[in-house]
Amino acid sequence: MLITKIKLTNYRNHELLELKFNGQSFIIKGPNGIGKSNILEAIHLVSTTKSLRTKYDRDLINHNADVAHIEIVVKDQGSKPQLAFEEELMLSIQKSQTYPNASKKVVKINKVPKALRDFSGKIKSVLFTPDDLDILSGPPSDRRKYIDAIMFQSNESYKSAHLKYTKAIRHRNKILEKIAKTGHGHNLLPVWNEIILLNGEIIQKNRRELFEILGKKAQVYLEELDPQNSRLKINYLENHISEKRLEEYSQKEIYTRSTLVGPHRDDFEVDYNNYNSAFFSSRGQQRTIMLAIKMAEMDHIAQATGIRPILLLDDIFSELDPKHKEAVMNITNLQQTIITTAIDSKNGLEIGAL
C-alpha cells in the first residue's frame, strides 16, 4: 500500500497544501515551523481517526476556518499488477457552533460517507517522533491513546468494543450525574453496566495480549540496539472491570459523577533494567526504548493484518546516534517510508526521493 497524494485544507497551518508522491519512499524538507510534522500527523490521523498530539480535535482546524479536510489517495498494489486499485480517503473535522471544545469528524471513502469504525485502519501507519518520549513519562491518557492507535489498525473486535464502550461510558456518566442531582435514575444503570462489562472485558483481554506481544518483540529489538543493557518489560496496570468492582465503587461514582472502574482508566509502564523508565532512564535510554517499541509495533501490525504499515519519521534523526540511525534506515526499505527533516531554506517545502 502506497500513498500517492495528500491534500490538506485548513488543517493546522496549512490553508491549502497538495503533495503528490511517485516513489516508494521520500523525504520532506523545510525550515522549522512550516508544518512538516502536521503532514505526518494528518496521515496518522486518517489511519487511526485519533490525534496523538492534541486533546481536542478542533485544535487541528486552522484558526481562520470552521472545518478542516484531509484527503489521501492510496494505491493498493495487490499481489499482482492487474489487481492494483486506488482509494480516496477523506476525513473532515467540523467545529461545533454550540460547545467551545467540541467538534465532529466526517469520513468518506471514494466520496461515499462511512462510519468511523469502517474508516479507521483503512491505511496502516506507525508514527515516530521526538515527542514519543512523552508516552513513557506523560499522563496515562497519552499511553491509552497510543495503545488505541495500534489496536484500531490491527484488531477489529477491539475497535468495535472500544466504540461501544466509550459511548456507554458517556451515557452512564450522565445517569450518575442525574442521580447525584436528583436522587433518581438508579434503575437506568444496569443496562449500561452490562454494556461496559461486556465490552470492557474484550478491551482488557486484547490489551493484555498486545502488551505481551509488544514486550517480547521490543525485547528482541532492544538487544540489538543495546546489547549490554537489554532488559525491558511492559507492565499493564489494568483497572479491572467486573460487576463486583462496579458495585464497590457505586456510591463514590455517584459522588464524583463519573465511572471510576474500567479500561478508560488503564495505564502501563515500561521497566528498563528493572526500573521504571519514566523516572530512572536518561533521555538517550528512553529514545532507545521507544525505538524498540516502535519497531515492535511495526511488526505487530504487519503480522496481525498482513499489511506492512507506512512508516512516518518526524525529524527523529537529529535525536539519534549513528547506531540507532542505522537501525531505522535498515527497515525503511520494507515499506513506504516518509521522513521529515529541518533545513534552512527560503523555498518552503521540498520533496525528494529517499
Residue 3 belongs to domain with CATH number: 3.40.50.300
Residue 34 marked ligand-binding:
yes
Query: Do 137 and 154 sit in the same domain of this protein?
Result: yes
d(CA 45, CA 81): 29
Query: Do 249 and 293 sit in the same domain of this protein?
Result: yes
Per-residue confidence (pLDDT) for residue 52, from 0 to 100:
84
Query: Do 334 and 228 sit in the same domain of this protein?
Result: no
Above 80 in pLDDT, residue 354?
no
Query: Do 140 and 241 sit in the same domain of this protein?
Result: yes
Do the beta carbons of residue 108 and residue 114 sit within 8 Å?
yes
Query: Do 245 and 151 sit in the same domain of this protein?
Result: yes
Query: Do 221 and 111 sit in the same domain of this protein?
Result: no
Above 70 in pLDDT, residue 82?
no
Do the beta carbons of residue 105 and residue 49 sit within 8 Å?
yes
Do the beta carbons of residue 103 and residue 136 sit within 8 Å?
no
Do the beta carbons of residue 204 and residue 173 sit within 8 Å?
no
Residue 200 marked ligand-binding:
no
Above 90 in pLDDT, residue 316?
no
Q: What is the CA radius of gyration of the chain?
A: 21
Per-residue confidence (pLDDT) for residue 328, from 0 to 100:
87
Per-residue confidence (pLDDT) for residue 292, from 0 to 100:
94
Work out the pLDDT band at 80, boundaries 50, 70, 90. low
Q: Which residue has the cell 461496559?
A: 196
Residue 307 marked ligand-binding:
no
Per-residue confidence (pLDDT) for residue 106, from 0 to 100:
97
Query: Do 72 and 109 sit in the same domain of this protein?
Result: yes
88, burial (CB in 10 Å: exposed 0-12, middle 13-18, buried 19+):
middle
Collect contacts of 230-234 with beta carbons under 8 A, ≥24 apart: 231/271, 231/272, 231/273, 231/274, 232/270, 232/271, 232/272, 232/289, 232/292, 233/270, 233/271, 233/274, 234/268, 234/269, 234/270, 234/271, 234/293
Query: Do 287 and 183 sit in the same domain of this protein?
Result: yes
Residue 160 marked ligand-binding:
no
Least confident segment among 40-49, 68-77, 274-283, 318-327: 318-327
pTM (two decimals): 0.92
Residue 155 grid cell: 484488531
Work out the pLDDT band at 77, boundaries 50, 70, 90. low
Do the beta carbons of residue 124 and residue 310 sit within 8 Å?
yes
Residue 185 marked ligand-binding:
no
What is the average pLDDT across 320-329? Answer: 86
Per-residue confidence (pLDDT) for residue 343, from 0 to 100:
85
Do the beta carbons of residue 109 and residue 89 sit within 8 Å?
yes
Query: Do 299 and 318 sit in the same domain of this protein?
Result: no
Structure confidence by residue, pLDDT tens digits, 91-137: 999 999 888 889 999 999 999 999 999 999 999 999 999 899 999 99
Q: What is the mean pLDDT of the chain?
A: 93
Query: Do 166 and 25 sit in the same domain of this protein?
Result: no
Query: Do 261 and 342 sit in the same domain of this protein?
Result: no
Work out the pLDDT band at 24, boundaries 50, 70, 90. confident
Above 80 in pLDDT, residue 142?
yes
- Total tally of structural domains belonging to the chain: 2
Do the beta carbons of residue 289 and residue 233 sit within 8 Å?
no
Residue 35 marked ligand-binding:
yes
* All residues at 6 or more sequence positions from 278 whose CB lies less than 8 Å from its CB, including other chains: 136, 137, 269, 270
Residue range of the domain that includes 96: 1-124+314-354
Query: Do 284 and 326 sit in the same domain of this protein?
Result: no
**Percent of the chain clearing pLDDT 70 (strictly above):** 97
- The CATH number given to whatever domain includes residue 169 is 1.20.1050.90
Question: Which of 285, 306, 327 marks a domain boundary?
Answer: 306
Q: Which residue has the cell 477491539?
A: 158
Residue 30 marked ligand-binding:
yes
Residue 32 marked ligand-binding:
yes
146, burial (CB in 10 Å: exposed 0-12, middle 13-18, buried 19+):
buried
